[in-house]
Amino acid sequence: MKKIQLAEDLQFSQIIHGHWRLAEWNLSPEELLSLMERCIEAGITTFDHADIYGNYMCEELFGQALKLKPSLRDKIQIVTKCGIKLVSEKRPSHTIKSYDTSKEHIISSAENSLQKMNTDYVDVLLIHRPDPFMDPVETAEAFRTLRKDGKVRHFGVSNFSPAQMEMLQREFDGPLVTNQIELSVLHEQPFFDGTVNHLQKEKVKPMAWSPLAGGRLFKGEDEKSQKVKRALEKIAEETEASSIDVVAYAWLLNHPAQIMPIVGSGKMERIQSAVDAANITLSREQWFYILQESMGKDVD
Ligand SMILES: NC(=O)c1ccc[n+]([C@@H]2O[C@H](COP(=O)([O-])OP(=O)(O)OC[C@H]3O[C@@H](n4cnc5c(N)ncnc54)[C@H](OP(=O)(O)O)[C@@H]3O)[C@@H](O)[C@H]2O)c1
C-alpha cells in the first residue's frame, strides 16, 4: 500500500477506512478489532472518525475495540473531526443544529474524542464543516493548545473552499495537512471549482469522502449514475478490473493530486476493491471518458 506524506512526521495509507457507518455494521468489539486487523494486513492503517458519527456513538465503539489490543495504537493513524453540533439526546444542551469552532468547543470535543476512543492523542483533528460564524484566530488558538498538550498531532479541515482554508491557515502556525472533500466519479465538481487545484498548489493531499457516492453508484437509478456505471463497466473490461468499484477507486488513485479515498463499507471483500485499485493504471483517455460520462458532455 502506498503511503502518503501529509507532513514531515505524518504518513497515511493511501486507502483510508471510514467509520461513519460503523454503528450500522453491528459488530462486537472483537469483530471490529478483527476487521481493523484485516485492514492493517491489507495496508490500510488510517481510520476516519468524527465526534458525531452514529449519533455520537462510533468513537466509543472504536474505543472498545482498541481497548482489546492497545498495542494497535502505534500501528495506526486516527483522524477525527469536530465543529458540528447535532440535536441529540446525547447532547441535551444542543437546541438547534449548528456549527461551533470556538476554542472551548474544539478543546472539549477533542478531549471527549480521546476519552471515547481510548487513546492519548489523535493524529489529525479536522474542522468538519466551514463555520459561517468562525473566528479563525480563536480556532487557531485551540489548535495550538491541543498541540502543546500533546493531544492532537496535526490539524486539517473538511468541506472547506480554498478561501476558507486560507483564512484559517493564515492564523495557524502549523500546516493544515488535508481538506477532506466529497470527490468521486459521481461528484467531479471539485476538479473544476478550484478546490483540487488549490490543494495541489499548496501541496496538501485531499481525502475523498463517499468515493462510491455513498453506494449511489450501485443503486442509483438517475441518468448520471446509470451512465457512469456503464462507463465503469466498459473500463473494467478494458483494464481487466474485477468490478466497477475498483475502477471508481482507480479513477481517484490515478490522479496526480495524491487523493486518499475513504472507504465506507464494513465488508472486507468490498474494502479489498480499493486496495486492488492500486494495480489499475488508467490511460488519460480512459480517465477522461469516465469524466465525460459523469459531466454528461465532453470537455469544452
Ligand atoms: N467529511 C465529511 O463531511 C464526510 C461526509 C461523509 C463521509 N465521510 C467519511 O467518508 C467515509 C466514506 O463515506 P461513505 O460511507 O459514503 O463511502 P462510500 O464508500 O462511497 O459508500 C459506502 C456505501 O456504499 C455501499 N457499497 C459499497 N460497495 C458496494 C457494492 N459493491 N454494492 C452495493 N453497495 C456498496 C456500502 O454498503 P456496505 O457497507 O453494505 O458495503 C455503504 O453503504 C465515511 O465513513 C466517513 O469516514 C466524511
Q: Could you give phi then psi for residue 62, rounded to 5 degrees?
A: -60, -45
Query: How many whole angstroms from 87 Cα to the centroid of ligand 1?
Result: 23
214 lines ligand 1 (CB under 6 A): yes
Q: Which of 21, 61, 124 to mutate to test the pocket of ligand 1 (most atoms within 8 A of CB)?
A: 21
pLDDT of residue 220: 85
**pLDDT (tens digit, 0 to 9) for every residue of the chain, 300 residues total?**
999 999 999 999 999 999 999 999 999 999 999 999 999 999 999 999 999 999 999 999 999 999 999 999 999 999 999 999 999 999 999 999 999 999 999 999 999 999 999 999 999 999 999 999 999 999 999 999 999 999 999 999 999 999 999 999 999 999 999 999 999 999 999 999 999 999 999 999 999 999 999 999 999 899 999 999 999 999 999 999 999 999 999 999 999 999 999 999 999 999 999 999 999 999 999 999 999 999 999 999
56 counts as catalytic: no
Give the whole-angstrom CA distance, residue 297 versus residue 291: 9
84 lines ligand 1 (CB under 6 A): no
20 lines ligand 1 (CB under 6 A): yes
Q: Which of 56, 155, 153, 64 is nearest to 109 (CA)?
A: 56
Beta strands in the chain (DSSP E): 3-7, 10-13, 16-18, 46-48, 77-82, 84-85, 98-99, 122-127, 152-158, 176-182, 207-209, 260-263
| This prediction's pTM | 0.98
Atom of ligand 1 lying closest to residue 270 CA:
28
What is the DSSP-derived secondary structure letter of residue 54? Answer: H
Residue nearest to atom 15 of ligand 1 (CA): 264
For 256, the grid coordinates are 496526480
Number of neighbouring beta carbons within 10 Å of residue 26: 8
Cβ 77 vs Cβ 154: under 8 Å? no
